[in-house]
Amino acid sequence: MRTFLLLTFLSLLTISWTRLEAQESIIPQDSTDFGDFLVLQDQVPGLSFRWQIKDKSLPESLLLDSLFLFAKTDSGYISQPMEHFAQLHEMSSRFGLDSLNVGLSYRVYSEEVSWQGAREYLANLVRNGDYQPIYEVKDVSEDLVVLAKKTPYSPFLKFKILFISDYKLFIVTAVIIFFFVVSIVMIIFMIILKVKKSKREQHKKEYENLIIDPLTSLLFEKELDEISVMKASDFHAYFPAELLQKVLFKEVLIQKIIGLNKKMKGEFKGKLKTIYQKLDLDKMSIQSLKSGKWYKITQGLVEINEMDLVEALTEVKGHANSDNFHVRSQAVATLLNLSEKVDLNFLKDQTFPLSEWQQMNYLRIIKFVSNVKPLKLEVLFESSNQSIRVFGIKLVRMLGRLDLLVNLANISEEVGLEEQIEILETYETLGAHMEVGFINRCLSSENEELAFAAAKAAFSLGDENSVKLIYSRLAKDQLSFKLKKQLLKTLHALDISKFDQATIGASDPISGQIRAHILDPLLSHV
Amino acid sequence: MYSFLFYFLLEVFGLMFLILSFAVISIYILLMILSALEMRDYLRKNRFADYGDIITSPIAPGVSILAPAFNEGMTIVQNAQSLLSLHYGKFEVIIINDGSKDDTLEKLIESFELEKTNFAYFPEIETKPVRGIYRSKNMSFRRLVVIDKENGGKADALNTGINVANMEILACIDVDCILSSDSISRMVRPFMEETNRSVIAVGGVIGIANNCDVQDGTVTQYRVPETMLGKYQVIEYFRAFLMGRMAWSRINGLMLISGAFGFFKTDLVRKVGGYFPKTVGEDMELVVRMRRYMEEAKIPYKLGFVPDPLCWTEVPENAAILSRQRNRWMRGTIETLQLHQAMRLNPKYGILGMISYPFWAIFEKSAPILETAGLLYTLILLVTGDFSAIYFFALLALMYLLSLLVSAFSVLYEQVAFNNYKDKKDLRKLIWMIIIEPFTVHPKIVWWGLKGHIDFIKGKGGWGSMIRTGFKKAEDKKNIQTQATTS
Amino acid sequence: MKKILIIEDDLLISSLVQFRLKKDGYDTHLVQDGNEGVKAIDTLNPDLIITDVMMPFRSGIEIIHHAKKHQPDTPIIVLSSLGEEEQVVLEAFNLGVSDFIPKPFNPNELAIRVKRILQ
């Protein structure tokens, strides 16, 4: 930026410099024109001239002319010095009749110079601003270029108006136009949005009121088998036929039925489902799966899930590996919920890592379906997606699948760290005493996290071996505070005398602090 | 020659202001569009979220709420009670008594049946000495931890809390904030959602509680504050939160999460060394440092933002207090930018270095200076009788219109998305405020910002030079001794 | 005729409940948020209150507090949208509610419980 400013500054300077030079060039370049130019000036300070005649004799009239006051020299005659150039023309006319060898000699102060010398002197004066040349006032009809060349130059003011005001005008106009166009577009957009939205809201409210009463009476007055034999036209007694054609009305209806379905129990659920299908709302839900917009697809999936539309399962499957997070999660949730036997292979084949949010949703559904359907969790252990494998182990823990502990034991040695940590936690929660060998192996791991998880698991599952391992590790290793605290806690739970040995009289103050912490009754139950 | 220089400078500044105003208009319009898109997506996403699930799910992360308290004896018990009654499964409330001179600690001990414990923790971040850690005998207060320590300022108190915290996520809040009961579950959601990036922090919206009815921790009736400064801040908060941060979060360019309500990943906060107690802008500085750490470690990450109204606070309506707050904010901004100047226009830091940092440097830090200069400039043009003064007048008018547009849009957002101010009268008051604000309150805000600059330049002390030279790397904070002799 | 106050923000649910209870010959009143609920308790003097726990402005717990303070003898049935969340159930029974029905629920079952309580 700085260099840019400097450059502009310099270029501005050069521009003004050339303009000054141009002014000086107004002085003519050949001797006759220069003479004419001087006539126009009349007087130039320090510049004078003398007439020089290179003839042996001079007419009487000229000799006596008091204007010239010719004096005789070796080569001819020379006039007195004169300063009024305006008289030049008049004077030369006096020489006119006689064919004399007349010449003009210029003088700067008292020094004789050539006409070029005189010109140089004048140019200098102009350049330094010591002399303002007078310009000939000419008719505009004459050459415009010549005229322009002779127009006096005033450096700064002119420059400003011509250049600066133009770009300012340009930018300001651009900014204003830009601002107004964009803000008008935005305002119109917002107004349209608001009007559309409030219209929609209004319609929705209206429809809601039209739906609540008929739906309520339909649910209480008719039994399930009565509803299932109703024809489409029978519903027109409840919902006006022309409204059932409207998409928005159907959307509100879907929304209401689903909302109710979530909060109802018993025979009402069945009735709602039948109404949903009889009104062809299920076709709408399935249709929205083909939409290009993620939120419409997700909405469709939610509806299919809520209303148990098993016939749409193949289409749902197509979305299970979608790029969109919400579509993917909802599709998987729907599949888990609706599949006849819960085949977790599609989950195993997911390529995207599972987020905690998805795990939470899937866990809720799997928990629910595991009560009614057989669940082959172990397929998840074979997934090539690490987050799925970890989730599989978590599920063993959270669903309390003691039968799968054997499977975990089989894979525990070759899986990665994260899975091992998860397995340790599962052993701990499920009380897998037979796996203490694995726990003890992990206790001496170099990896902090793994050793920590092992120490936690050993708290309730440890044996004499664990005590030995912990005790020796406490004695020789430099441990982080977190790991040390857990090891001591575990040691305290397994063998109090060893715990006392490790902490009483320990050289470092930290062991003492941790000991006090562990023995504090207020902290032990937290 | 002098007059030449004068006119030349006039031209250069003129060009600068023209470019600047063009940039201001384009950037604000861009921000408006970005925030509108983000808001639309958020509302769509929200339709499919079941927050009730997070409360009980074993997969949801644990949250440690850190609330520093200094001389809060009057309200501390009620505030602690409302924090303890938040709807969430796995959380603890850590109240840090920062050497209060009143009976804050005594009141807590008495009301919650606290007892001093031998709680052992690792002081990973250096802080002022801790006098005791208290817990309750009563099982209903099992979530409460009270730390009593010597006074060291808000950042130091939070650092102590960070050392003691047990959960994966830290929620740093002002103890006098009113939190809606579902605030934790909503704020935790962004942490759980990402699959390929790690979410390092989540910011929330702060609402203004002045003149509103509050009952048991939620605002039951919204009303616009009575005073001009209060009303101004309502609009300002809409602008900052609903528009500004929403837009920045869309391009993952957030640089500030309000210190009154921010959620962070515990391990990362510890890794970068916690808050920096020697700056007045500790909340912004921490976020910038965490981001910088992730950029330097080249780990993909994201900052989340939740626009739901979940947290309310009383804002100062008194000019003297507000001026001090603004002065502090300005100094905090300058200090943070100074500390992390290594990122300025550095492509290594991606959006943070190339967009967020320059934006903050020009539009937040230098805004009061540029605005004053622009006004002076127009005045000079007017005095010298320059023809182009009229353009600059047009530009000023344009800036005014822009401020109207931006403010009106943020109020509209609030109306479309949440519609909390239901009374038509309140809306009228806000609109009137939008119209007069540029002439009444705004000049004061600019002046307080300028004073912040002046105070920063005047600021002395051992940490002044530290702040001026800045951190070379994000971890540098860890290497300096915070327990210094200053203060 | 016994007066029943229903405090529930979901209009469809509440009108369903209302429809069912009207069939049994009760005089039912409907309000849709916590603030209205508190007002209605004071002015209406109902024989039974049915309330949700999560509502705009005031939670069901607050409403129970209010009702127990001003009309300690009026029985209360909680219709919980929070399911059977332990904390809520405990708190509600601690405050002395007569019954706790988690959603999803069956309106017929609700009607039976109402009848039993009002006898």
**Chosen domain end from A153, A178, A208:** A153
Q: Which domains does chain C have, with CATH numbers?
A: 3-118 (3.40.50.2300)
Q: What secondary structure letter does DSSP report for A66?
A: T
Pair C50, C7: CB distance under 8 Å: yes
Q: How confident is the model at residue B449 (pLDDT cuts 50, 70, 90)?
A: very high
State the CATH number of the domain containing residue A461: 1.25.40
Q: What is the pLDDT of residues A251-298, one digit of tens each?
A: 888 888 888 888 888 788 888 888 888 888 888 888 988 988 999 999
**Per-residue model confidence (pLDDT) at position A16:** 46
Tokens of A411: 């894979």
- Would you put residue C45 in left (φ > 0), alpha (ψ -120 to 50) or beta? left
Decide if A137 is inside a domain: yes
**Per-residue model confidence (pLDDT) at position B473:** 77
Cross-chain residue pair C12–A262, CB shorter than 8 Å: no
The neighbouring-strand residues paired with C77 are C50, C99
DSSP string, B379-410: HHHHHTT-TTHHHHHHHHHHHHHHHHHHHHHH
B465 interface with A at CB cutoff 8 Å: no
Decide if A377 is inside a domain: no
Tokens of A11: 């270029």
DSSP string, B317-336: -SHHHHHHHHHHHHHHHHHH
Other beta carbons within 10 angstroms of residue B360's beta carbon come to 21
Tokens of C91: 């708190």
Query: Is pLDDT larger for residue B369 or for residue A14?
Result: B369
Q: Which chain C residue has its CA at the smallest distance from B85's CA?
A: C87
| Integer Cα distance of A163 and A3 in angstroms | 21
Which residue bears the tokens 């967020």? B356
Pair B182, B310: CB distance under 8 Å: yes
Q: How confident is the model at residue A75 (pLDDT cuts 50, 70, 90)?
A: confident
Q: What is the pLDDT of residues B388-428, one digit of tens each?
A: 677 777 878 888 888 988 998 888 888 777 778 877 888 88
C118 interface with A at CB cutoff 8 Å: no
| Integer Cα distance of B116 and A47 in angstroms | 108
DSSP string, B151-173: ---HHHHHHHHHHH--SSEEEEE
In chain C, residues with a C-beta closer than 8 Å to the C-beta of B216 are 59, 62
Percent of residues, chain A, with pLDDT higher than 70: 88
**Per-residue model confidence (pLDDT) at position A392:** 93
- What are the phi and psi torsion angles at C118 (to 5°)? -80, -5
**Per-residue model confidence (pLDDT) at position A71:** 80
C41 vs chain B: nearest CA distance in angstroms?
Answer: 18
Q: What is the pLDDT of residues B281-309, one digit of tens each?
A: 899 999 999 999 999 999 999 999 999 88
| Integer Cα distance of A33 and A43 in angstroms | 16
Which of C12, C14, C28 to probe the A interface (max A CBs under 10 A)?
Answer: C12
**Per-residue model confidence (pLDDT) at position A148:** 63
Cross-chain residue pair B220–C57, CB shorter than 8 Å: yes
3 state DSSP class of B197: coil
Cross-chain residue pair B220–C83, CB shorter than 8 Å: no
Interface A-B, measured as beta-carbon pairs within 8 A, has a size of 136
**Chosen domain end from A153, A181, A214:** A153
In chain B, residues with a C-beta closer than 8 Å to the C-beta of A12 are 8
| Integer Cα distance of A7 and B485 in angstroms | 50
Q: Which of A208, A263, A267 sits opposite C13 (nearest CB)?
A: A263
Tokens of B105: 């600690």
3 state DSSP class of B91: strand
The overall average pLDDT reported for chain B is 88
DSSP string, A71-133: EE-SSSEE---B--GGGHHHHHHHHTTS---EEEEEEETTEEE-HHHHHHHHHHHHHTTS---
Decide if A332 is inside a domain: no
Q: Which of B55, B56, B216 sits opposite C62 (nearest CB)?
A: B216
**Per-residue model confidence (pLDDT) at position A137:** 55
- Alpha carbon A456 to its chain centroid, in Å, reads 45
Interface A-C, measured as beta-carbon pairs within 8 A, has a size of 46
C91 interface with B at CB cutoff 8 Å: no
In chain C, residues with a C-beta closer than 8 Å to the C-beta of B181 are 59
Radius of gyration from C-alpha coordinates of chain B: 23
Q: Which chain A residue has its CA at the smallest distance from C12's CA?
A: A212
B421 vs chain C: nearest CA distance in angstroms?
Answer: 14
C81 vs chain B: nearest CA distance in angstroms?
Answer: 10
Cross-chain residue pair B18–A164, CB shorter than 8 Å: no
Q: Which amino acid is at B225?
A: P
**Per-residue model confidence (pLDDT) at position C80:** 80
**Per-residue model confidence (pLDDT) at position B68:** 95
Decide if A116 is inside a domain: yes
Q: What is the pLDDT of residues A86-129, one digit of tens each?
A: 887 777 777 766 677 788 888 888 888 888 888 888 888 887 77
**Per-residue model confidence (pLDDT) at position A144:** 63
- Which residues of chain C have a pLDDT value below 50? none
C62 interface with B at CB cutoff 8 Å: yes
Which of A205, A206, A212 to probe the C interface (max C CBs under 10 A)?
Answer: A212
> Which one of 3.90.850.10, 3.90.550.10, 3.60.70.12, 3.90.870.40 gives the CATH number of domain B50-319?
3.90.550.10
In chain C, residues with a C-beta closer than 8 Å to the C-beta of A213 are 15
Decide if A177 is inside a domain: no
Cross-chain residue pair C109–A266, CB shorter than 8 Å: yes
C32 interface with A at CB cutoff 8 Å: no
The neighbouring-strand residues paired with A212 are none
What residues 182-201 of chain B have any CB closer than 8 A to a CB of chain A?
189, 191-196
Strands A47-53 and A77-78: antiparallel
Average pLDDT, stretch A415-430?
Answer: 92
Q: What is the pLDDT of residues A287-345, one digit of tens each?
A: 988 988 999 999 999 899 888 888 888 888 888 888 888 898 889 888 888 887 777 88
Cross-chain residue pair A516–B118, CB shorter than 8 Å: yes
Pure H helices in A222-293: 224-228, 241-244, 247-263, 267-278, 281-288
**Per-residue model confidence (pLDDT) at position B284:** 94
Chains in touch with B (≥3 Cβ pairs < 8 A): A, C
Decide if A7 is inside a domain: no
Q: What is the pLDDT of residues A190-238, one digit of tens each?
A: 778 778 888 888 898 899 888 888 888 888 888 888 888 888 788 888 8
Pair C50, C6: CB distance under 8 Å: yes
| Integer Cα distance of B300 and B314 in angstroms | 37
A257 vs chain C: nearest CA distance in angstroms?
Answer: 9
C58 vs chain B: nearest CA distance in angstroms?
Answer: 7
Cross-chain residue pair C83–B52, CB shorter than 8 Å: yes
The neighbouring-strand residues paired with B144 are B93
**Per-residue model confidence (pLDDT) at position A2:** 46
Confidence check: pLDDT of A158 > 60? no
In chain B, residues with a C-beta closer than 8 Å to the C-beta of C35 are 220
**Per-residue model confidence (pLDDT) at position A159:** 47
In chain A, residues with a C-beta closer than 8 Å to the C-beta of C101 are none
**Per-residue model confidence (pLDDT) at position A136:** 62
Confidence check: pLDDT of B478 > 80? no
**Per-residue model confidence (pLDDT) at position A12:** 47
B120 vs chain A: nearest CA distance in angstroms?
Answer: 6
Other beta carbons within 10 angstroms of residue B175's beta carbon come to 21
Pair B352, B298: CB distance under 8 Å: no
In chain B, residues with a C-beta closer than 8 Å to the C-beta of C88 are none
Average pLDDT, stretch A410-419?
Answer: 89
B440 vs chain A: nearest CA distance in angstroms?
Answer: 24
**Per-residue model confidence (pLDDT) at position A140:** 52
Cβ-based interface (< 8 Å): residues of A facing C:
208, 211-213, 215-217, 219-220, 256, 259-260, 262-269
C109 interface with A at CB cutoff 8 Å: yes
B152 vs chain A: nearest CA distance in angstroms?
Answer: 24
Range of the domain at A119: 23-153
Domain tally, chain A: 2
B220 vs chain C: nearest CA distance in angstroms?
Answer: 5
What residues 38-77 of chain C have any CB closer than 8 A to a CB of chain A?
none
Specify burial of residue B303 (Cβ count, 10 A radius: 0-12, 13-18, 19+): buried
Q: Which of C58, C82, C85 sits opposite B220 (nearest CB)?
A: C58
Q: Whose CA is closest to C98, among C78, C70, C71, C68?
A: C78
C35 interface with B at CB cutoff 8 Å: yes
| Integer Cα distance of A452 and A444 in angstroms | 10
Q: How confident is the model at residue A164 (pLDDT cuts 50, 70, 90)?
A: low
Q: Whose CA is closest to B264, among B279, B250, B254, B278?
A: B254
What residues 123-182 of chain B have any CB closer than 8 A to a CB of chain C?
181
**Per-residue model confidence (pLDDT) at position A428:** 92
Percent of residues, chain B, with pLDDT higher than 70: 94
Query: Is pLDDT larger for residue A230 or for residue B156?
Result: B156
Cross-chain residue pair B48–A302, CB shorter than 8 Å: yes
**Per-residue model confidence (pLDDT) at position B169:** 96
Q: Which chain B residue has its CA at the smallest distance from A196's CA?
A: B416
Radius of gyration from C-alpha coordinates of chain C: 13
B75 vs chain A: nearest CA distance in angstroms?
Answer: 26
Pure H helices in B47-150: 51-56, 76-84, 104-112
Q: Which of B56, B181, B216 sits opposite C85 (nearest CB)?
A: B56
Strands C76-80 and C99-102: parallel
Q: Which of C58, C82, C85 sits opposite B215 (nearest CB)?
A: C58
Pair B4, A159: CB distance under 8 Å: no
Cross-chain residue pair B52–C82, CB shorter than 8 Å: yes
C69 vs chain A: nearest CA distance in angstroms?
Answer: 30
- Whether ipTM tops 0.95, in short, is no
Q: Whose CA is closest to B201, among B264, B250, B271?
A: B264
Other beta carbons within 10 angstroms of residue A185's beta carbon come to 11
**Per-residue model confidence (pLDDT) at position A19:** 47
Which residue bears the tokens 């009563």? B138
**Per-residue model confidence (pLDDT) at position A525:** 61
Chains in touch with C (≥3 Cβ pairs < 8 A): A, B
Pair A83, A43: CB distance under 8 Å: yes
A264 vs chain C: nearest CA distance in angstroms?
Answer: 5
**Chosen domain end from A153, A184, A202:** A153
Sheet holding C99-102, edge to edge: C27-31, C3-7, C48-51, C76-80, C99-102
Q: Whose CA is closest to A445, among A410, A469, A481, A411?
A: A469
Cross-chain residue pair C59–B56, CB shorter than 8 Å: no
